[in-house]
Structure 1
Amino acid sequence: MLDTPADAQPDLRPGLMLCAYEPDLGWNEAGSDADTDWTPTGARLIPVRAEAPDSLARTLVERLRDPACRAALLVGRTSGEEDFLIQTRAENRLLNGKGRLVPTGPGVARAPAPALEMAQTLSEAGLKARLSSDTVTDPGNYLLYRVLCSLPDGPDAPLVGLLRVPDGQGSAITRAVRLAAEAMARHLSPLPRPRAA
C-alpha cells in the first residue's frame, strides 16, 4: 500500500477570475490555451470563457460565491478610445439600455477594484491608461452591474474590476491585462488554513 504524504499543503492562494467577455477578444498573445501558463503573483488564476451575457453573469456570480474566489477582472473593448480604461462604476441598465436591470437597485454601483493603482501600474509600464466613470450600455456594464449587485456588503467582499482595452494593441493588451490582474492580486490575502479535524 502506498503512503500518501500527510503534510501535503493546500493551495492557500486566493482565486482571481479573469474573463474576456467578448469571444473574439484575445487578451493572451500566446493563444487561448496559454492563459494557464501565467498566474498573477500571490493569486490563483481562474480563467472564465466568454458566453452569452445572461449565462455568463450567472457563472461569474456563482463562482464568486466560493469563499476561495476573492476577485474578478472583466476585460472588454473600449468604444473608440485609444487609452486603456479602468471603469470605476456600472449603471443599472438593461442590455438594450431601455430600462433598469434591477428595478429596486441603486442607479449606479461602484467597482471595488483598486482602480487607481491599476491605472498607475499600466501607466508606469508605458501604457496609456486612465480611470473612467462613464458608463456604456454594453455587455461590460451589464456584467459589472450584475456581479456588483450580487456581492455581500462589508470589507470581505471580493474585488471586482472592468478593464477596457483599445483595438489593435496586440501584445500591449496582454501586458495590460496581466498588470491589472497583478495590481488586484496585491490586495488579496492568503486564504485561511483549514482547521485540523
Structure 2
Amino acid sequence: MTRVLLADDEAMIRAGFRAILGAAPGIEVVAEASDGHEAVALALRHRPDVCLLDIRMPRLDGLGAVAELRRVVPETAVVMLTTFSEDEYIASALDSGASGFLLKSGDPRELIAGVRAVAEGGACLSPAVARRVISRLGAGQFGRQAGARSRIEVLTGREREVLALVGAGLSNAEIARRLHVVEGTVKAYVSRILDRLDVRNRVQAAILAHEAGLAGEH
C-alpha cells in the first residue's frame, strides 16, 4: 500500500485529491496538512511514502517544506503541486530534491501514475509541465549547454534518443510507442541514463536534455 500525505492550504483542493487517490487501488491518504510546518510534522509522525506538496502555502511554503522534508524524512518522496503561474519556483524545488511536478488542473490519471512512480523510486513530470516549464528552465539559468553536451557524451546513440524524449516530456509508454519497443526496455534505458549521468531523477535528466539541446531534436 502506498501511503500519501496531502499538503495544500485549500480544503477543496485537498478533498479533490483525496477523492481521486482514495479511489485508486493500492493508495491510501494517511494525513492532510494545510501549511508547510504541519506537513513536516505529519510526515515525521506518519512516515508516508509520498508527500504531495503545494508550492504556495502559509507559514512555511512548499519550497521551504520540501527542503525540510528531505532533511528529516529522506525516505519520503516529494511531488510538488503547481500551476502555470508558478514556473519560476520549479528550479528551486528541483535543487531542494523534489521528485516530480504535477499540475493541480491536470488529468487525475497523471496524479495516480505520478504517486505510484515516485513511490517506486522514480520521478514524475507532467507532460504539460515539461513542455512549458522545463523548456523555460533550459533557456534560463540551466542553459549551460557546453557542460551539458560534455556530460551526455558518455551515452550511446540510443540512450541519447531516449534522453531527448524524456526531455520532451514523454512517458515511458509514449517513448516505447515512438521507438517501437516494449515499455520495460525503456525503463531499463532510463535507469541506465540516470546512473551514467549521475542525476537524481527523471526531472533532472529532462533538464539536462534541454541544456544539451537534445529535447528539440524529437
Please give the TM-score of this superposition, normalised by the length of structure 1: 0.40
Structure in which a larger fraction of residues adopt strand: 1
Structure in which a larger fraction of residues adopt helix: 2
Please give the TM-score of this superposition, normalised by the length of structure 2: 0.37
